Amino acid sequence: MKIGYILNTYPQPSHSFIRRELHALEAQGVTVLRLAMRPTTMPLADPGDQAEGARTEYVLKAGILPLLAASVRAFAASPRRFLRAMALAAKLARASDRGLLRHLIYLVEAAHVKQRCAEEGVQHMHAHFGTNAAAVAMLAEALGGVSYSFTVHGPEEFDAPRTLSLGEKINRAAFTVAVSSFGKSQLSRWADFGKWDSLKVVHCGIEPDRWREVVQPPDGPLRLVAIGRFVEQKGQMVLIHALSELVGRTPEVHLTLIGDGEMRGALETAITRFGLERHVTLTGWLPESGVRRELERAHALVMPSFAEGLPMVVMEAMAAARPVIATYIAGTPELVRPGETGWLVPAGDVTALVAAIEALEWTAPDRRWAMGQAGRARVLERHDSATEAARLARCFQEAIKTRD
């Protein structure tokens, strides 16, 4: 079985879950053609991401003439089908805030993707995210290509389902994947009732072998870690405000922020304003080994997000046997169980976040370790990348069989 993975910008530091999914599929005998629209402009610290970049074919690097030639060939093969695909692109543009020209570019990309999939014997296309990658896959299928499916992670797709024509993409797809039960419920809002059976839940996974050995949390003052892009939806600013209240009562508390992004300057300004330079370390993006090392140095992960899908960082912290303090949003409660594996707080509530961190500090070390072990057992049972990849592969097989 050969699958074409249609991606926008790949690889990226925050998208290691896609890499793990691809590797798990390949370990089970699935051949994967990686077709991304463009490479990332961000530095890739992890060797695994660097290797993925070398294995990925970038559509826009093909050049304007080959891309236009693919479009001409698609038109020549079936003018009627091409015009229908163009009308579909125009329909997407009318709903979108990105305009007709952008969607005609998607059509040109789709013609190239269709051609490359045919040349490589791809039997089905799968996209990640319900944004432009899913649009390209849908347009490639409309041009006469193989069937497609896509995985929706959120929260971006749930923020703008009409603008993204999410319902159109679902209704035309062989199947659509949600990464949590919450995500499936949101897809159900935009899918035709007759397509509900095509909505599948396939979790993002971790590789258990990489987490076979765990270490007990360190002794000493409370150490917290937060991981994610520095953007508004991740809520790191709330965590800085909470820390400013905590240091008066817990003067040795320390927070490590792993990641980077457009809000870095604002976070640095807030850290200076509150006099937290001694209490906060910003590491930038780290390779997986570096993330693992920082989790081992911490007593807990804090995830103060306003919007999420199903956070990989929570899975990784649980695999490392660390309790988690997270916000009660999206699929997170499907992972974090209050009092058993961590604490859940309302998003944006600084007072509740402070209280949860204090509760963590007051919890006896053996109880924290027991909570970490409970979280580890839960994530290893529910989020094994091999198990989830096998579930996804069965969906691919059924789509190919139905198409044939």
- 388 and 307 share one domain: no
> What would the mean pLDDT of 128-136 be, rounded to a whole number?
97
- 228 and 334 share one domain: yes
State how far the Cα of 178 lies from the Cα of 187, in Å rounded to an integer. 8
Q: How many CA atoms lie within 13 A of 354 on its CB side?
A: 15
- 224 and 338 share one domain: yes
- 367 and 219 share one domain: yes
Q: What is the mean pLDDT of the chain?
A: 95
Is the pLDDT assigned to residue 382 strictly greater than 80?
Answer: yes
How far the first Cα of the chain sits from its last, in Å, is: 13
List, for residues 275-313, the tens digit of each pLDDT value.
999 999 999 989 888 999 999 999 999 999 999 888 889
- 238 and 192 share one domain: no
Q: Which residues contact 391 (CB under 8 A, 6 or more apart)?
A: 200, 202
CATH number at residue 36: 3.40.50.2000
- 222 and 298 share one domain: yes
List, for residues 242-258, the tens digit of each pLDDT value.
999 999 888 999 999 99
Number of domains composing the chain: 2
- 369 and 291 share one domain: yes
Domain boundaries, position 188: 2-205+384-403
* Higher pLDDT pick, 358 / 48: 358
- 370 and 319 share one domain: yes
CB 14 within 8 A of CB 21: no
The residue assigned the tokens 């015009």 is 83
* Higher pLDDT pick, 46 / 64: 64
pTM for the full model?
0.89
Q: How many CA atoms lie within 13 A of 249 on its CB side?
A: 11
- 191 and 252 share one domain: no
State how far the Cα of 377 lies from the Cα of 392, in Å rounded to an integer. 23
